[in-house]
Amino acid sequence: MPLDTYTLAVTFLFGLAVGSFLNVCIHRLPRSMSISGPRSLCPHCQAVIRWYDNIPFLSYLVLRGRCRKCGEGISPRYPLVEFVSGLFTVAVLLRFGFEPVAAVMYALICALIVITFIDLDHQIIPDVITLPGIALGLALSFVLPDVSWKSSLLGILVGGGGLLAVAWGYSLLTGKDGMGGGDVKLLAMQGAFLGPGGVLFTLMAGAFVGSLVGVTLMLVQKQDRKMVVPFGPFLAIGAILYIFWGHPLVAWYMGFFRQV
């Protein structure tokens, strides 16, 4: 069913509101703070942020990115997360329509957004997201037709077990830790929702994008090869690519090699 402009606009506004909550999670989860309270505070002067200064995206523009009370700058990450959340809400609706799988994929993407920014800031992937996510993905496979429970379970095993084997092999060969346990649990969570095919695509796409970004950063910043780049955001990118374009990309890839 074609979606009209009004529906897409309302969907985008809903995504902005969800993005505001995602910002709360990004800030509070690494600090072991409650995501339900207290009210948001300015990180500089600790003033309570009033509701009219907490309107997603719009308040940042009105305040020109500064706290109303102390005038200190507000991180542009806040409107960025809200805007990205809004875009993905629309994208999921356009991709899947008003189907249960749309809500499931949007929830997974929201979790990946939170994980991405936490991993970038703190180099951790919270278990409070991935472990319940694994259980939720497996549970949903019993009621949704898109990924069977067998495929979900296999995805968990391939995602968690496969990456754990790679990390163990790297550690054995080099004597250094190559991946954290958070990456292993993240890929297992993605496997619960996307199945083994999604895991393999995510891992390959994430490694490819991560390599490009890592090499670019080393060239631009002239860093040595020991520079640490979190892998979680690239696994998130790989999973999102699979959600929207996985099957066409795999078909193109297989067709390309058949021609070669």
What are the structure tokens assigned to 120, written together? 């970038």
pLDDT at 215: 81
pLDDT at 149: 93
Q: From 73, 79, 83, select the one nearest 42 (Cα to Cα).
A: 73
User: Distance between CA atoms of 162 and 196, rounded to whole angstroms?
Assistant: 10
What are the structure tokens assigned to 75, written together? 């991180």
What are the structure tokens assigned to 166, written together? 């790679």
**Cis bond before residue 56 (omega within 30° of 0):** no
Q: Calculate the CA 73 to chain-centre distance.
A: 26
Give the domain ranges of the chain.
Answer: 1-98, 136-260
User: Distance between CA atoms of 8 and 121, rounded to whole angstroms?
Assistant: 32
pLDDT at 83: 97
Whether pTM > 0.85 for this model: the answer is: yes
User: Distance between CA atoms of 11 and 36, rounded to whole angstroms?
Assistant: 24
User: From first to last of its 260 residues, what are the pLDDT tens digits of the chain?
Assistant: 567 899 999 999 999 999 999 999 999 999 999 998 788 888 888 888 888 888 999 999 999 899 988 988 989 999 999 999 999 999 999 999 999 999 999 999 999 999 999 999 999 999 999 999 999 999 999 988 889 999 999 999 999 887 777 767 656 666 666 566 899 999 999 999 999 999 999 999 998 998 888 888 777 776 555 566 788 999 999 999 999 998 887 777 666 556 65
